[in-house]
Chain A
Amino acid sequence: MTDATNATIGEKMPEAPARGRWADVWRQFRAHRGAFWGMMFLVFITLFVTVGPLIWPHDPTALDIRSKDMRPFYVGLFAGEDSNVKWSWEHPLGTDNLGRDLMAKLMLGGQVSLAVGWVAMLLALFLGALIGVSAGFFKSLDGPLMRMTDLFLALPLLPLLLVMMLLFREPLRATFGSETGTFILIVVVIGITSWMQTARVVRGDVLALKEREFILAARSIGTPSSKIISRHLLPNVMSAIMVSATLGLANAIITESAISFLGLGFPPDFPTWGKLLSDATSRLQRFPERVIWPGVAISFTVLAVNYMGDGLRDALDPRIRGR
């Protein structure tokens, strides 16, 4: 419609086709090299853990005692033909002390780690956005909700996480089975201890937006509060939420691995990256690769997500975007 009006008035038409806001954001995001490669890596690792097990011939739980303790291919190649290093192209990253393929275990472990990360992040975002919007929009809720946020920020989170894992592990395992129970517990525990930053940022944005004219206009034509929030406020705080989503994902993956590393996470024989790493530390001297590969997977994923967050922050900031 704008185009039509412009044409009738006879103003000069813009040369390039008009771009939407999100196209702009995408251009800026792509221009940030770290963010772009971070996203590529995240896509790659997601495919690796989801499609990978379908292609890879080995089962992560299949025992094969004859081919136990294999070294990765690069150790074998480096040692040369006539050394007695045990390796084969069958298991390029080697096998563990029961002959289970490390590559297959990495895929399965990654599935769990990434799933925990995403679900916990979404839960934290939901809580954070809910509390942030309520505190910013309803004046009467602001005081109590923000005091509660402050109190949560003053809790010692890692010790409390560990304590909660200790307390609720058994009852939940009894109800939902050991794997599902632990999954629910870890996700909930990480979710309810990491929503505070999101809530603060969202509240700040909502407080500023609430005073703007378009909200006043919406209110003056009788829009109910629920519609104002869902149609006018939420789309406008989306950028803040997306940036804290990346931070939340990185944080959730690290926290899950830390819990697993300290031995309070998933049951034994259920691999996650953190658990693979911690199980391997006892035989670190002979088989360093079993520590390094899960660690590399965690670190690279988190690094990729952090870079994405960095790029997203730049791309969503209109003051930088024009640069």
Chain B
Amino acid sequence: MLTFTIRRLILAVPTLLFISLVIYSLLEFAPGDPMANMPLTIPDEVKQQMREALGVGQPIWISFPKWLYQFFIVEPLVLIDGIFGSTFSEGQQRIISWQTRSPVMDIVAERLPQTLWVVGTAYVVAILIALPIGIYSAYRQYSVFDQAGTFVAMVGYSVPPFFSGVLVIVIFSVNLGWLPSIYDTTLEVVDWETFKLQLKQMIMPVMVLALQITSQISRFMRASMLDNLKQDYVRTARAKGMSEWTVVMVHVLRNSMIPVVTVIALGIPSIFGGAIITEQVFKVNGIGQLLITAIQANDLPTVQTLTFVFAILIVLFNLLADVLYGILDPRIRYD
């Protein structure tokens, strides 16, 4: 198992390097100029010096390793400093945003909690809804419940989040006036009243995200349960006189969970991508919205860093899914 994990871990390194190179070289083509928004009264020589100070115009074989060094050495050091109060990163150049002239990672760290909070809750809610639906649909295949479940799942991944989001705003904020349409991130939960407010403003974004995730996971759960329900060991278990609950919820469920768990792990990074749109609809100032504003403002370091953060998430969760599969299904481990 350990060799399996280590082999996967080593394979992830070239993948990450390749992705970072793709993202970096793609952005090197960008026509953006960090001085575009500066006043015209600044003389050209000064502008040129400012560009050099920001590291613009260096050839890629200098700037790319430098960026890698900043991303993988300096930023983790800053994190360590922040946690333990040490001074490893003092005097090191960090990745600077062109828009705000502050380190990109600081902005990301400010924005990340909002995204994690909304996305995380949505994912948990979605899994909690999806698993029972999947199990019951498979157990009563072709029943009314199963048909309805199939239909809802179909709708779930056909309706894009920028429409379902706007639709729930029309219904629950505009017409009924029950829920706020904008997510207020300055709200601090201190007492029961603010907790209720927080709950209210989270319902819609979470539900919109959860609908999509639910429809995917419940389909997988159903298919996986169906595969297992037809197996011989289920007949054996029933023949031994076990209760139906034990057969389905213990024997079948545990075996069906193997592929579903990996699907759940693989789905996490794509949720961050989907959250870009949901954040835009509900005006949540998370990292998705940061990416959009950075793209609109031509802020290349931020765009590079954020895209790469997304890429790391994908690779990391792919790895996690592989390892989980290895743990859950001993047949997969081929060491």
- A166 CA / B170 CA spacing, docked (Å): 31
- A250 CA / B276 CA spacing, docked (Å): 20
What is the minimal beta-carbon distance from A239 to any residue of chain B, in angstroms? 19
Most A-side CB within 10 Å, residue of B295, B306, B310: B295
Contact residue among A160, A281, A284, A298 (Cβ-Cβ distance under 8 Å from B160): A298
Q: Which of B1-52 contact A (CB under 8 A)?
A: 15, 18-19, 22-23, 26-27, 29-31
User: Interface segment, B86-94, B189-197, B311-319?
Assistant: B311-319
Residue on B with the closest CB to A274?
B162
What is the minimal beta-carbon distance from A151 to any residue of chain B, in angstroms? 6
**B22 to chain A: which residues have CB within 8 Å?**
155
The reply on B210 being an interface residue by CB < 8 A is no
**A164 to chain B: which residues have CB within 8 Å?**
26
Closest 6 CB pairs of A and B: A156-B310, A295-B163, A303-B158, A158-B273, A302-B158, A299-B159
Tell me the dominant secondary structure on chain B's binding face. Answer: helix
User: Interface segment, A14-22, A78-86, A254-262?
Assistant: A254-262
**B19 to chain A: which residues have CB within 8 Å?**
151, 154-155
The reply on B327 being an interface residue by CB < 8 A is no
- A281 CA / B166 CA spacing, docked (Å): 8
Having A159-B291, A163-B23, one finds 14 other A-B pairs with CB under 8 Å, namely A34-B154, A151-B18, A154-B315, A156-B269, A159-B306, A162-B276, A163-B27, A166-B30, A167-B29, A262-B280, A277-B166, A295-B159, A303-B154, A310-B154
**A171 to chain B: which residues have CB within 8 Å?**
31
| Contact A254/B296 with A154-B318, A281-B166, A303-B154 known, Cβ cut-off 8 Å | no
The total of chain B residues at the interface (CB under 8 A) is 45
Does the CB pair A262–B277 fall under 8 Å?
Answer: yes
Contact residue among A261, A284, A302 (Cβ-Cβ distance under 8 Å from B174): A284
The reply on A318 being an interface residue by CB < 8 A is no
The reply on B169 being an interface residue by CB < 8 A is yes
The reply on B167 being an interface residue by CB < 8 A is yes
Does the CB pair B174–A159 fall under 8 Å?
Answer: no
Q: Interface size class for chain A?
A: 35 or more
Q: Which of A257-310 contact B (CB under 8 A)?
A: 257-258, 261-264, 274, 277-278, 281, 284-285, 288, 291-292, 295, 298-299, 302-303, 306-307, 310
A-B contact pairs, 28 of them (CB 8 A): A34-B154, A155-B314, A156-B310, A156-B311, A157-B273, A162-B291, A163-B295, A167-B29, A167-B31, A254-B160, A258-B160, A261-B280, A262-B277, A262-B292, A274-B162, A277-B162, A277-B163, A281-B166, A284-B174, A292-B170, A295-B160, A295-B166, A295-B167, A299-B158, A299-B163, A302-B159, A302-B160, A303-B155
The reply on A150 being an interface residue by CB < 8 A is yes
**A157 to chain B: which residues have CB within 8 Å?**
273
| Contact A160/B307 with A277-B162, A281-B166 known, Cβ cut-off 8 Å | yes
The reply on A170 being an interface residue by CB < 8 A is yes
The reply on B172 being an interface residue by CB < 8 A is no
Q: Which of A9-48 contact B (CB under 8 A)?
A: 34
- A170 CA / B31 CA spacing, docked (Å): 9
Contacts from A to B (Cβ < 8 Å): 34, 150-151, 154-160, 162-164, 166-167, 170-171, 250, 254, 257-258, 261-264, 274, 277-278, 281, 284-285, 288, 291-292, 295, 298-299, 302-303, 306-307, 310
The reply on B157 being an interface residue by CB < 8 A is yes
Most B-side CB within 10 Å, residue of A150, A160, A250, A257: A160
Most A-side CB within 10 Å, residue of B166, B277, B306: B166
Contact residue among A278, A302, A306 (Cβ-Cβ distance under 8 Å from B162): A278
- A277 CA / B280 CA spacing, docked (Å): 13
The reply on B303 being an interface residue by CB < 8 A is yes
What is the minimal beta-carbon distance from A37 to any residue of chain B, in angstroms? 12
- A274 CA / B277 CA spacing, docked (Å): 12
**B276 to chain A: which residues have CB within 8 Å?**
158-159, 162, 262
What is the minimal beta-carbon distance from A47 to any residue of chain B, in angstroms? 21
- A233 CA / B272 CA spacing, docked (Å): 39
**A258 to chain B: which residues have CB within 8 Å?**
160, 162, 277
Residue on B with the closest CB to A306?
B158
- A284 CA / B170 CA spacing, docked (Å): 7
